[in-house]
Structure 1
Amino acid sequence: MSTWRPNFPISPRRRRAGRRRRKPTEQAFDCRHIAPARGVSNLLRSESFRRDHERFRRCKLNALVKSRQPAQVANRRRLRIKQAAWTNLEPARVPGMTAVPCCVDPDSPVGCLSMGWRLKAMAFRVLEMPGGKHAHYFLQRHVTRTWPRPAATLVSLQNIARRVVEDYARHVGGTPSSVLEIGAGRDLAVPLGLRRLGVAKVIASDVDRLARLDLIQHAARRILTGDVTLESWEHLERFGVCYRAPHDVTDTDQKVDCSCSNEVLEHIPPDQLVRLLAGLRAVTIGITTHSIDYSDHYARSDSSLSRFNFLKYDDAQWRPFNSGLQYVNRLRHSDYLRLFREAGFAILEESSVLGEPSAEIVDNVAPRFRQYEPADLFALRGRIVAQ
Structure 2
Amino acid sequence: MRNVDLARSLLKASIPFADTARRMKRRLKPYVPNPIHTGFSFDDGIGLLHALRQIGADLSGDVLEVGSGWTPVVPLLFHLAGARSVTLTDLERLFDETSVPTAMAFVHPRLGGVAQVLGMEVDQLAARLPHFRPAYVCPWRADRHPAASVDIAISRAVMEHVPAREVPELFRELRRIVRPGGLMCHSIDNTDHWQHGDGKGSLVDFLRYPTDSLRWRLSQVNTQGRMNRFRHSDYLALAREAGWEIVSESGRVPPDILRDVLRMKEAGELAPEFADRDPHDLATTATLLIARRGD
TM-score tier after normalising by the smaller chain length: 0.7 to 0.9
Cα distance change on mapping 1:299 and 1:124 into 2, 3 Å: same
Shift of 1:274: 1.5
1:370 to 2:268 alignment = no
Q: Of the candidates 199, 211, 222, which is equivalent to residue 95 of structure 2? A: 211
Q: What is the CA-CA distance between 1:167 and the residue it aligns to?
A: 3.2
Match of 2:185 in 1: 289
| 1:275 matched residue in structure 2 | 169
Larger Rg: 1
Q: Give the whole-Å Cα distance in 2 for the aligned partners of 1:228 and 1:247.
A: 26
1:208-255 C-alpha deviation (Å, 9 max, x unpaired) = 2211212332222333545977xxxxxxxx844111111122363452
One-letter amino acid matched to 2:193: H
> Is 1:261 equivalent to 2:155 in the alignment?
yes
The answer to which of 151-160 and 309-318 deviates more is 151-160
Q: Classify 1:360/1:372 alpha carbon distance in 2 versus 1 (closer, same or farther; 3 Å).
A: closer
SS of equivalent to 1:213: coil
- CA shift, 1:334, in A, is 1.4
Verify: 1:244 aligned to 2:104, yes or no.
no
Name which of 201, 205, 209 aligns with 2:85: 201
Q: What is the rounded CA distance, in whole Å, between the counterparts of 2:207 and 2:26 in structure 1?
A: 28
2:148, 2:176 within 8 Å by CA — same for their partners in 1?
no
For 1:79, the equivalent position in structure 2 comes to none
Contact kept in structure 2, 1:249 and 1:280, CA below 8 Å: yes
**Residues paired across the two proteins, number:** 262
| Aligned counterparts of 2:10 and 2:161: Cα–Cα separation in 1 | 16
Question: Which structure 2 residues correspond to residues 24-173 of structure 1 after superposition, within 5 A?
Answer: 117-129=2-14, 130-133=16-19, 147-151=31-35, 153-173=37-57
Match of 2:194 among 298, 306, 316: 298
CA distance in 1, matches of 2:283, 2:27: 34
Q: How far did residue 175 of structure 1 move?
A: 2.5
Tell me if structure 2 keeps the 8 A contact 1:126–1:132: no
Does structure 2 conserve the Cα–Cα contact (< 8 Å) formed by 1:196 and 1:223? Answer: no
Q: The residue matched to 2:51 in structure 1 has which SS? A: helix
- Residues 124, 138 of structure 1: alpha-carbon distance in 2 compared, 3 angstrom cutoff: farther
Show CA shifts across 1:116-165 (max 9, x none): 7321121111111213345567889999x9x4224554454334333333
- Are 1:192 and 2:76 matched, yes or no? yes
**Structure 1 CA distance for aligned equivalents of residues 105 and 193 of structure 2:** 30
Q: Is the 8 A contact 1:179 1:201 kept in 2?
A: yes
Unaligned ranges ≥5, structure 1: 1-115, 230-237
Cα distance change on mapping 1:378 and 1:276 into 2, 3 Å: same
Change (3 A) 1:156 1:308: closer
- The structure richer in strand per residue is 2
The corresponding residue for 1:321 is 219
Letter in structure 2 aligned against 1:349? S
Give the secondary structure class of the aligned counterpart of 2:276: coil
User: More displaced, 264-273 or 283-292?
Assistant: 283-292
CA change 1:151–1:269 in 2 (3 A) is closer
Q: 2:59 aligns with which of 167, 175, 198?
A: 175
If asked which structure has higher relative contact order (CA below 8 Å, sep 6+), I would say 2
TM-score by length of 2: 0.78
Match of 1:356 in 2: 258
Letter in 2 for 1:320: L
The alignment yields a C-alpha RMSD, in angstroms, of 2.8
Q: Shift of residue 303 of structure 1?
A: 1.4
Q: 1:245 to 1:254 in 2, by over 3 A?
A: farther
> 1:266, 1:329 within 8 Å by CA — same for their partners in 2?
yes
Q: Is the 8 A contact 2:45 2:77 kept in 1?
A: yes
Distance (whole Å) between structure 2 residues aligned to residue 312 and residue 357 of structure 1: 15
Identify unmatched segments of 5+ residues in structure 2.
109-125
TM-score of the superposition, structure 1-length normalised?
0.61
Tell me how far apart the structure 1 counterparts of residues 23 and 275 of structure 2 sit (CA, whole Å): 38
1:272-300 superposed Cα distances (whole Å, 9 cap, x missing partner):
11121111111223221111111110111
Identity of aligned residues (%): 26
Q: Which amino acid aligns with 1:128?
A: A
Match of 1:384 among 286, 289, 294: 289
